[in-house]
Amino acid sequence: MISCIDFCAEVVAGSAAWLGRGLSCVCAQSREDESRQSFDLTLAQEGCLLKLQHRLDIAYDSSVPEHQESLRALWKAAFPEEELHGLITEQWKEMGWQGKDPSTDFRGGGYISLENLLYFARNFPESFQDLLRKQEGDRSMWEYPFAVAGVNITFMLIQMLDLEAVKPRTLVGATFLKFLTDNESAFDLLYCIAFKLMDHQWLAMRASYMDFNAVMKATRHQLERELLEENITRLEDLPSYKLLTR
């Protein structure tokens, strides 16, 4: 997988019109005072982590029929009444991709970032459409592009949860694995929560494109706090989950 730093450099260089210097590598940042530990895993947790890591390692490949169909399915979920004219078309800009070929953006997030978006569209269609079409709140003239923001959220979660490590080195990562053991779609569900929370923070902060980095930091910190709250036994218990279903 391309490194987070390389990806963020690509995004900044390729999307100056929308985020410019406002986007930095939030996903790679860690607090200096965060102590790195090592948490032992149960066999079930180890198996779930390996399965998720396998998903992280799958690059988007425009020659793979399954990947092509997932991309078409994403378009149909986003714009059910508008016919897609091809996998490479200017139409993709309507969803917030940088250009006419989404595969150039998936280079960074891999196939899982497409799966995350598709899961969101299928399981929370109302919230998905609200974010896609920016239907809630008093919006800035310079909004974040929906699709590319989604790829950044995938990256942020991978880094926040330390998912590329052999075993978690943070309490947040270890806590998430408990949820993953009970629900194999936990990463996709947390993605939906994070995306909705990010938009909620965006509106609360009255943000514009130069504030994207600050919004992502606030989103990450809020998720970390909620994951470590007492009496949270499943992701549906997170306070921010309510944003998806209200």
Please name the amino acid found at residue 27: C
pLDDT score of 21: 28
pLDDT score of 151: 94
Structural domain boundaries, residue 202? 4-24+43-245
Residue 37: inside a domain, yes or no?
no
Q: Which of 64, 49, 159, 161 is nearest to 111 (CA)?
A: 64
The number of folded domains in the chain is 1
How many C-beta atoms lie closer than 10 Å to residue 128's C-beta?
24
Query: What whole-number distance in Å separates Cα of residue 190 and Cα of residue 7?
Result: 22
Which residues 6+ apart lie within 8 Å of 78 measured at CB?
95, 121, 128, 129, 132
Q: Which of 72, 7, 34 is nearest to 162 (CA)?
A: 34
- Residue 240 buriedness (CB in 10 A; 0-12 / 13-18 / 19+): buried
Angle made by CA atoms 142, 110, 194, in degrees to the nearest 5: 50
Query: What whole-number distance in Å separates Cα of residue 75 and Cα of residue 183?
Result: 27
Residue 239: inside a domain, yes or no?
yes
Query: What whole-number distance in Å separates Cα of residue 28 and Cα of residue 22?
Result: 15
Copy the structure tokens of residue 41: 């895993």
DSSP state, 99?
S
Residue 187: inside a domain, yes or no?
yes
Residue 35: inside a domain, yes or no?
no
SS3 230: coil
pLDDT score of 79: 96
Mark 150-177 as b/e (b = at least 16 C-beta within 10 Å): bbbbbbbbbbbbbbeeeebbbebbbbbb
Query: What whole-number distance in Å separates Cα of residue 165 and Cα of residue 174?
Result: 11
Residue 8: inside a domain, yes or no?
yes
pLDDT means per 10 residues, the chain with 246 residues, are 34 34 38 58 92 95 94 96 94 92 84 97 96 83 89 95 91 95 96 97 91 95 96 95 90
Residue 121: inside a domain, yes or no?
yes
Residue 30: inside a domain, yes or no?
no
pTM above 0.95, yes or no: no
Enumerate the H helices of the chain as residue ranges: 4-14, 43-56, 65-78, 103-123, 125-132, 146-160, 171-182, 186-204, 212-227, 241-245
Query: What whole-number distance in Å separates Cα of residue 26 and Cα of residue 80?
Result: 33
Residue 173: inside a domain, yes or no?
yes
